[in-house]
Structure 1
């Protein structure tokens, strides 16, 4: 009897194992001394820079389009506004698609769309083709790799250092967009705008194999935990329940019932209006109105991109340590003051006060993104990346409206002064809205709030 019981117990155990088989899981491991999450972040950074390249072209191509095709500022700005709006509206659906089909597939397809849209512009002869290629195709492609992609990567691969990584990846989107400007401006001036479009096509195409072979969807795919995750942290879901569209709409429906969502969406709409929509699109032609060469103005925006890298990474570091609401309030208030002063600084040459504006605006350019992602995570938990996609949609709607409206203002009054002052006033409003957001509950990874 003494020997039978263990055998019986073993038989029961074996029988249970036959009924409920277990799936072997590879033990967590690291590649060398560097966690795999950092390599994923590096590939994501390169892909974001590649996608940002085409979004750098509008401001240096407005004048060449006017000269070759005779299109007005308003007509060209409309195509830009379509691109900017789709960049935002695509983002939440792309975040849901990444949950359903994986990050790698969605990003590779997005880069292919960017390459197709930028390449086809060299064949256009009518303004509707500009809207189709520059607005629709590139808007959908870049929107699929928007800042919701940043939120998805950081939420899935990082638990510790999320704010810092959000800042680094966000800086890649803006820095890539602005640093490409001098190269594009020189190409447009020396070889024509078609050469610049083809260069952007090449950058996007070159990034596709990098993404396909090196980017991975989940830490568990390579046998590791998310960076900084505790031993008992639940794994990332392999497939999200339901369709991607239903997931995106469901997250919006739930978030829209909260005051925090509308405050975040409102502040981020003003963020887009004061960066991509106004400065990113119209700074170069506005400076050219005052006699500054296009290449010089584009160079100043490149400097904005360099300091944006510093400012956004620093903002991510600060977000890990301080109240993100207070950070947003400070960022928007200082941005508003600088925009109201800008009309006094524009001239035919670069002088010290203009350099001070460029450095300051670079530090503040997208410093708002890490605190906004953090607040989405606090208030909306596991749905945070998709909700941030909807918040980003408001960012791009604000940018699109101001990109179009500033072009109309320039056509009507011959100056951008009203646009600069109006954007400054909106930033003051955003500062007050940010401070009105209540603190949420910090969600644990994988646990919805």
Structure 2
């Protein structure tokens, strides 16, 4: 157990590394060398990374892959994906190729509303509070004009502010529930700045409101913060084709495939245990693009899973039907994303990813990200309902297993060849490499 450290943030980078290496590692020199191995050789680039967050000591890399052949609304995209999980990029690429031959993906942004709330306690007559809010609403909006003017020039700003009575949930609890359009910015800082100004005006106006008693004037603002639940910032992505065009797998008829696929989706709609894993697969695609484009995947995850529970039970984000011989598969997903501000103008790989996508607007990025999620879901369900998911996944995972076993390049080539016709598992890979090494050892002994 290490001792507590005082003033850690005041230490320079080298001092932080020395302290960590000494306190936590049996071999401090080895730990220090590994930490420094992941520094960028470009000093300016490393300094940029160091300044993204606090107490940085090194970089933590994720692979950046690309999934080509996405036809979205008639336009071709190659999508960048930052993710460590094997088979995700391959699965998305395979689904993209499948649907590019069947009309591609169609997307629609249903709305882009974002939400922020001022949470406060008011002990008094509700009708008086309502009258007070009506009187000061314009002052709230006017009071943030210096914050909203640039956003308004781009077509965004405050949509509305409403007073919400939440006293049924908590005594004396009310909200200012504000809705925003932040155009191409994710808008967290903009929204939070507006909310804090609303809170300041709310309190000062209440203290001067002659209709309030002294107790009613003492509105207690608990907090002012945006919500990552954005049920009205929704994008729809979908694919469709005649059932007979679902003819890629020779081991199952298109009709049987469609029926089995829809049943699998329906199970995820009805069964929360399945829905969680079903939606996790969707997020494999969504998160990978969100990270590659410098957006907040934690906010996206929180909002998406809340949306999946909006009807009172956790359910599938995707849906499928067959009507009049047409197979249709779609997803409605809340995505609060930005293409300006934050890391989008700082992180070199983020800038590269956005340029690869044609420098999209926030609305366009919403559509691309939703398509990545739908493609990933289609690929997973197709595998699950036909060959099983492990066959493809474990073949992609084989290289990770071989690297864990420190296989040589020759051993890797032989292992890949061997498992083209044999089932991949960790135990099978271990046994194969051990046998291979045993054979080599015996040959060297004979020589």
TM-score, normalization by structure 1: 0.21
Name the one with the larger strand percent: 2
TM-score, normalization by structure 2: 0.21
Q: Which has the higher contact order (CA 8 A, sep 6+)?
A: 1
Name the one with the larger helix percent: 1
Q: Which has the larger radius of gyration?
A: 2
